[in-house]
């Protein structure tokens, strides 16, 4: 379960995790977000791509996959 969903907002558009049109892993809210980066969660493939492009432009793209933000968040 998501213990503190208010902690997670799309880093591109600010949409809060928990809103109905947020993209969830396998379409299920209790699976957590479908997209994220080392900077935070992303609400959709559109924001994921926008975020990727910005980081590519900044030269801050990570060389390894981002850690799952929920891995350390389970009590
Ligand atoms: Zn977004």
pLDDT digits (tens, 9 = 90+) for 20-36: 899 999 999 888 899 99
* CA distances, 70 to each of 10, 11, 34, 50, 58 (Å): 15, 16, 12, 22, 26
Question: Which tokens belong to 57?
Answer: 């432009």
Q: Ligand 1 centroid vs 35 CA: distance in angstroms?
A: 10
Under the banding of pLDDT at 50, 70 and 90, the label for residue 68 is confident
Percent of the chain having pLDDT more than 90?
Answer: 44
Nearest-10 Cα torsion for 34, 40, 44, 48: -110
pLDDT digits (tens, 9 = 90+) for 53-63: 999 998 887 77
| Residue length of the chain | 75
Q: Ligand 1 centroid vs 24 CA: distance in angstroms?
A: 12
Q: Ligand 1 centroid vs 47 CA: distance in angstroms?
A: 5
Answer for the pair 64, 34: CB distance below 8 angstroms, yes or no.
no
Confidence at residue 75, expressed as pLDDT on a 0 to 100 scale: 57
Residue in the block written with tokens 């060389």? 63
Confidence at residue 44, expressed as pLDDT on a 0 to 100 scale: 96
């Amino acid at each position: 379960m998501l213990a503190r969903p208010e902690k997670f907002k799309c880093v591109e558009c600010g949409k809060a995790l928990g809103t109905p049109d947020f993209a969830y892993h396998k379409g299920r809210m209790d699976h957590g977000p479908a997209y994220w980066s080392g900077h935070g969660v992303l609400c959709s493939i559109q924001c994921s791509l926008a975020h990727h492009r910005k980081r590519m432009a900044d030269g801050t793209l990570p060389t390894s996959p981002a850690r799952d933000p929920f891995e350390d968040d389970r009590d």
